[in-house]
Amino acid sequence: MEPAAVILSGGPASVYAEDAPSMDPAIFDLGLPILGFCYGEQIMAATLGGSVAHTEKGEYGPATLTRHGESQLLEGTPSDEQTVWMSHRDAVDRLPEGFTLTASTETCPIAAYENPERRLFATQFHPEVNHTAYGQTMLSNFLFKICGLEPNWTMDNLIEAKVAEIREHIGSDKVILALSGGVDSAVTAALVHRAVGDQLTCVFVNHGMLRKGEPESVEQVFAHEFDIPLVHVHAEERYARLLAGVTDPEKKRRIIGREFWKVFFEEAQKLDGVKYLAQGTIYPDIIESGARKTGGKASTIKSHHNLIPFPEGVRFDLVEPLDHFFKDEVRALGSALGLPDSMVYRQPFPGPGLAIRIIGEITDEKLTTLKDADFIVREELDAYNQRLFEQTGKRNSEHACWQYFAVLPSIRSVGVMGDERTYGHTIILRAVESTDAMTADWAKLPYDVLSKISSRVVSEVEGINRVVYDITPKPPATIEWE
């Protein structure tokens, strides 16, 4: 394979566990530059004669890193303190011979170490996530200065390569795509359409748990503005029957995913001669769904809708042109393909939709309540983001919200409205800053924005007497509640 370098990524295992991924020590003697972070940092130490131990308390989220002396990897980052993102319970407690300690945090005395002569570098924190303030500088140091590579991953290069790849893959055959209205399937549709034109048909399964106004806008954009053949399937009642009484989050996801494919394939089989199925699977779906393309070593955090298998007897070949892209790259690709901003900057939305934002049983009444509250949240935070965009010229500027929505928990509380006691429902506001959904921090929204959302939700949405704000980063929480 002639690799130019090796990056040892993070992972959920403990290096000394029986089934933990291990490394042939000879890899470190190949003379290749190697960067290990998190699990990769620990396996490097354990393999080369250092050691790893459980820490008394874990370290999750932002941490303050202090540098010690010279470091090729950390060059160009502040020499005193900087913020890095941690997510670990184990840590290296003894360095292998020949290595120098280059940074620590209060909880983690060995947070970065290196052996520049052997071109081996390691960090306990995650340089690849956006919340590590100088992570990009560190990765640039590694790739361009230490390894001497060229930065040639540009959107124009990628579109050209992807279009050629899709044309070659699909030939003159027909392809279908399940459109959800979200960024991933929209960009996939635009890319596949650019490659094979009207050989593509989009199928939109409406399960009734989309946001207010969304089914209408999907039709408007794809059928009318983009002129792509679109089948809109109304499956709202079918879903309501299946989900009645179901409260377990994974069961909801399974039912919705399975039924989605049933409905989808019923439609697909009405179309003649379709050979391919294009999907908007992106890289975080694959990582977080664990087993499939990562070779079984990533831990299953949630079973993602995108990866539900085919039903028995149905065969389409998959086309997944975005499966190596992170969300921010998918947006850049969408813009470069000429998709409108409203679509490219549309928030990510989970396949199971509002079903996983209603904690407990889903009813028509709860769906209406959540749709109405969510509409207000989006209206206010769209306006807030627009104000920030006008001030900074940047879409994902500091403090802009990346994803925001309402959650309806299954609790009631006492309130007072118009001198009357109420016993109403609560709306949870979730708003996060992120670039790729792998990590996120809660958005530091101004009080007046929070206050307006709260007063509009309680006065405009029937049955709600309380609004609370979720102030947990990911990790340890996930962005969604189920």
Partnered with residue 85 across adjacent β-strands are 62
Q: At its nearest, how many Å lie between ligand XMP and the CB of residue 257? A: 8
Beta carbons of 93 and 125 less than 8 angstroms apart? no
Nearest to 222 by CA among 187, 170, 263, 257: 187
Report the distance separating Cα 374 and Cα 381, nearest Å: 10
From the CA atom positions of the chain, what is the Rg in Å? 24
> Does 350 interact with ligand XMP (rule: CB under 6 A)?
yes
Q: At its nearest, how many Å lie between ligand XMP and the CB of residue 161? A: 25
Q: At its nearest, how many Å lie between ligand XMP and the CB of residue 456? A: 23
Tell me the CB-side half-sphere exposure of residue 346, using CA atoms within 13 A.
21
> Does 306 interact with ligand XMP (rule: CB under 6 A)?
yes
Among 252, 305, 357, 366, contact with ligand XMP (rule: CB under 6 A) = 305
| Catalytic residue status for 126 | yes
Nearer to ligand XMP, 304 or 425 (CB): 304
Q: At its nearest, how many Å lie between ligand XMP and the CB of residue 216? A: 21
Binding part of the chain for ligand XMP, among 262-270, 346-354, 378-386, 410-418 by CB under 6 A, reads 346-354
Among 351, 353, 463, 473, contact with ligand XMP (rule: CB under 6 A) = 351
> Does 181 interact with ligand XMP (rule: CB under 6 A)?
no
- In the numeric block, which tokens belong to residue 404? 């925001």
> Does 100 interact with ligand XMP (rule: CB under 6 A)?
no
Taking residue 154's Cβ as centre, other Cβ atoms within 10 Å add up to 11
- C-beta pairs of 291-295 under 8 Å, 24+ apart in sequence: 293/323
Q: Which of 38, 108, 202, 401 is catalytic?
A: 38
Q: What is the DSSP string of 395-449?
A: TT-TT--SEEEEEB-S-EEEEEETTEEEEEEEEEEEEEE-SSSSSBEE----HHH
Among 302, 331, 357, 371, contact with ligand XMP (rule: CB under 6 A) = 302
- In the numeric block, which tokens belong to residue 169? 């893959």
Taking residue 99's Cβ as centre, other Cβ atoms within 10 Å add up to 22
Q: At its nearest, how many Å lie between ligand XMP and the CB of residue 23? A: 29
> Does 348 interact with ligand XMP (rule: CB under 6 A)?
yes
Residues that constitute the known binding site for ATP = 180-186
For 2, counting Cβ atoms within 10 Å of its Cβ (0-12 exposed, 13-18 middle, 19+ buried), the class is exposed
Q: At its nearest, how many Å lie between ligand XMP and the CB of residue 386? A: 20
Beta carbons of 304 and 291 less than 8 angstroms apart? no
Residues 438, 439, 443: CA angle, nearest 5 degrees: 130
> Does 352 interact with ligand XMP (rule: CB under 6 A)?
yes
Beta carbons of 286 and 294 less than 8 angstroms apart? yes
Among 403, 406, 408, 433, contact with ligand XMP (rule: CB under 6 A) = 403
Q: At its nearest, how many Å lie between ligand XMP and the CB of residue 116? A: 37
105: three-class secondary structure by DSSP: coil
Nearer to ligand XMP, 166 or 432 (CB): 432
Taking residue 156's Cβ as centre, other Cβ atoms within 10 Å add up to 8
Q: Which of 41, 59, 128, 214 is catalytic?
A: 128
CA distances for 151 relative to 47, 107, 140, 143, 460, angstroms: 31, 35, 9, 9, 51
Nearer to ligand XMP, 84 or 479 (CB): 479
Residues that constitute the known binding site = 180-186
Nearer to ligand XMP, 184 or 267 (CB): 184
Q: At its nearest, how many Å lie between ligand XMP and the CB of residue 16? A: 28
Among 304, 331, 357, 371, contact with ligand XMP (rule: CB under 6 A) = 304
Nearer to ligand XMP, 48 or 437 (CB): 437
| Catalytic residue status for 38 | yes
Q: What is the DSSP string of 148-171?
A: -------HHHHHHHHHHHHHHHHT
> Segment 241-270, which members bind ligand XMP (CB under 6 A)?
253
Nearer to ligand XMP, 93 or 382 (CB): 382
Nearer to ligand XMP, 36 or 351 (CB): 351
Fill in the DSSP letter of residue 222: I
**AA letter at 99:** F
Q: For tokens 């962005």, what's the residue?
A: 479
> Does 480 interact with ligand XMP (rule: CB under 6 A)?
yes
> Does 437 interact with ligand XMP (rule: CB under 6 A)?
yes
> Does 353 interact with ligand XMP (rule: CB under 6 A)?
no
| Catalytic residue status for 128 | yes
Nearer to ligand XMP, 196 or 428 (CB): 428
Tell me the CB-side half-sphere exposure of residue 417, using CA atoms within 13 A.
15
Q: Which of 88, 126, 207, 305 is catalytic?
A: 126
Catalytic residues: 38, 126, 128
Q: Which residue ranges make up the site for ligand XMP (CB under 6 A)?
A: 253, 302, 304-306, 348, 350-352, 403, 437, 474, 478-480
